Amino acid sequence: MNENKLLAALPKLFHQDSDLAVGPGDDCALIKFGGKYLLAAADQLIQDVHYFPDTPPEAVAAKLLKRNLSDIAAMGGIPRWTICTLACNGCSDEFFMRFFNALEACAKKYQCAIAGGDLAELPTSGTVATLTILGEVELEKVCLRSNARPGELIFVTGQLGDTLYSQHHLEFEPRLAEGRFLSENAFSCCMMDISDGLAADLPRLLERSSCGAHIQLDKLPCRNNCSWQSAIADGEDYELLFTTSADRAGKLLEVWPFDTPLSCIGQITADAGTVRYYQDAEEITLNGVNGYEHFRA
């Protein structure tokens, strides 16, 4: 099975829980607790997969936290607490102190607190860091992958593609303020973050919404004038992909208070499971441009 098939197969194994409003399959789980709603998600960061052996520990720690914050942003939520685990082989005291000092600095910057964690030894060389993020959101403001409706316009924040050589995969800003603005002001109730490339992530949103989409490749905000292939297939954009109704879109563009670019790149259709890509008016076949798979089994 590839990553998508596994991610689709696994949640079907799991029993439901009456307080688990949204389980596996969205950017975060949504949990009813004490009359409020908790967000929870976890992500991993692995040496030689998500960063290089010579990436500074400060950059590793920040990326680990920021990619989790991006999941909170995608739900329209507010980050609160993190739990971090680290497994490594022969890491020095200096690595640990630099990693955790940077994690703390990043947590402070984004106003969340380190609540716990675990350290363990890997039997072979390498480092595996895992972080669970907890956040909160109001039920009436949460943004879900399943909320897209035909006719809605599709937007992305920031720019896409060229994520590795530009260092964007380390230097990105999680779109917390932008995601919260969209959810708080009811500009969107359907959002996800793009972490595996638009070509991989958009179908996941459409699957949950039983919709299709048209995408205008000529409207993609390509980082450093990269190709549309790079813009839809490179992983680690950590930008928000969201839908908004056609009659709210003009207002959104008018009041958008951020420097972060906002681009309308297409429209949701009723043709469930089908994504059509256009270059101006001409339909384009992707021919194997698939987005990034973090995992192949």
Among positions 47-76, residues that touch a second copy (CB under 8 A) are: 47-50
One residue of 52, 165, 258, 295 binding a second copy per CB under 8 A: 295
Contact flags string 83-112 toward a second copy, x per CB under 8 A: xxx-x---xxx--xx--xx--x--xx----
Contact flags string 178-217 toward a second copy, x per CB under 8 A: ----------------------------------------
Range 122-181, binding a second copy (CB under 8 A): 122-126, 128, 130, 132, 134, 136
Asked if 117 and 96 count as a contact pair (C-beta separation under 8 A), the reply is no
From residue 180, alpha-carbon distances to 168, 248, 292 in Å are 22, 17, 27
For residues 223-247, one letter each, b for 16 or more C-beta atoms within 10 angstroms of the residue's C-beta and e for the rest, the string is beebebbbbbbbbbbbbbbbbbeee
Q: What is the helix (H) or strand (E) element at residue 95, kind and residue range?
A: helix 93-109
Nearer to a second copy, 15 or 54 (CB): 15
User: Distance between CA atoms of 19 and 14, rounded to whole angstroms?
Assistant: 14
Nearer to a second copy, 81 or 256 (CB): 81
Smallest distance from the beta carbon of 25 to a second copy, in angstroms? 8
Count the Cβ atoms, other than its own, within 10 Å of residue 116. Answer: 10
Sequence-distant (6+) residues with CB within 8 A of 219 are 263, 264, 265, 266
One residue of 6, 8, 139, 186 binding a second copy per CB under 8 A: 6
114, β-bridge pairs: 82
Range 20-39, binding a second copy (CB under 8 A): 20, 23-24, 28-29, 31, 33-36, 38
Smallest distance from the beta carbon of 128 to a second copy, in angstroms? 5
